[in-house]
Structure 1
């Protein structure tokens, strides 16, 4: 409703509208930007940002990359530990 108010009363400053609604003008500007970017998909709720399909895919790929990098680092450490153990047994 705040975004609709800004759209219908474009001659009024957003800062004035925000004060009237009891919110900061930064918050109102963010809501207007989100509505402009996502339209009816805006304001999904529960603090989760609205993402396009490409943004969702990118987020999923980044998550998989982080997990893969962690697994790689663990395997490198394991190989290093076992390699040191083998060299001790062969020199006895």
Structure 2
């Protein structure tokens, strides 16, 4: 990976980040960048997956907050 990063003129961490994003989103990676064109359906799926991920994070934070506040009220 280090050799490839040098050849592309990017940092190692950036290359790892791109690989992780590609593994996670596949062809939906990097929308709007480069020459990749997503179909309307792919764009909708990408947006819904992003919203679901955000909602899951919100839910986890709220659960943790409820746990913290319920302990402090004892």
TM-score by length of 1: 0.43
TM-score by length of 2: 0.53
CA drift of 1:48 comes to 5.3
Gaps of 5+ in 1: 1-44, 88-92
The number of aligned residues is 43
Please give the root-mean-square deviation of Cα atoms over the aligned residues, in Å: 1.6
1:26-57 residue CA offsets vs partner (Å, 9 max, x unmatched) = xxxxxxxxxxxxxxxxxxx8425210010000
Q: Find the counterpart in structure 2 of residue 58 from structure 1.
A: 45
> Which structure has the larger Rg?
1
Q: Find the counterpart in structure 1 of residue 36 from structure 2.
A: 49
Gaps of 5+ in 2: 1-31
Q: Which runs of structure 1 show a deviation greater than 6 angstroms over 4 or more consecutive aligned residues?
A: none
1:77 to 49, 54, 64: 64
